[in-house]
Amino acid sequence: MTFEVLTICGSLRKGSSNANLIEAYIRCAPTGISFSSLDTIAALPIYNPDMDVEPMPTVVAETRRKVRAADLLVFSTPEYIHSLPAALKNLLEWLVGDPEFHGKKAVVLHANSSSTFALTELKEVLSTMAAQILDHACVVVDLGSNKLNIDQILQNDEIRASLTRSSNQLVQDLTRPR
């Protein structure tokens, strides 16, 4: 059995440390998980409730379809001005109206142990959206710099062990019946 995991990066920056952390996570994962990354975040219009009606903008419909198809979402985001980056918050505003988001399983990776506002806020927003956060699989690491590439992240034994532990936990959680 293969589980579908959709990764969501809050940074749109080329060479993003959060994107690299997600990629490192994927490389540590056991077989049985198929990962894809949400690539529509930058193309979403600014959320407007007047547009949140059928027919949805094509990119919104595509985004919701990808999120619905996932067994689990893995987030990693930087902190911007003690909060979530606007692009990620915008995505979540587009998703909150989808009844199928209710109960969606989610794991949060966090690349900077001192950026606590973004981590707390993302968990608060996801809980408010009735997502099911798998707290025991969430990972807080300290990359120390946003310049590390994927191989450099994986060379850190402690970080690699945390990522491996988390992804193994996912398989157990996804296998367990609701």
Ligand X SMILES: Cc1cc2nc3c(=O)[nH]c(=O)nc-3n(C[C@H](O)[C@H](O)[C@H](O)COP(=O)(O)O)c2cc1C
What distance in Å separates the CA atoms of residue 166 and residue 28, rounded to the nearest whole number? 9
Q: Does 166 bind ligand X (CB under 6 A)?
A: no
Q: Does 81 engage in binding with ligand X (CB under 6 A)? A: yes
Q: Which of residues 14-73 bind ligand X (CB under 6 A)?
A: 16-18
Among 25, 41, 79, 141, indicate the residue that binds ligand X (CB under 6 A).
79
115 near ligand X (CB under 6 A)? yes
Q: Does 82 bind ligand X (CB under 6 A)?
A: yes
How far does CA 13 lie from the centroid of its chain? 16
Q: Does the protein bind ligand X through residue 7 (CB under 6 A)?
A: no
| Alpha carbon separation from 85 to 20, 70, 71, 79 (Å, rounded) | 17, 23, 24, 7
CB of 41 to ligand X, least distance (A): 13
Cβ-based nearer residue to ligand X, 13 or 136: 13
Of 118, 161, 119, 143, which Cα lies nearest the Cα of 19? 143
Tokens, residue 29: 């994962």
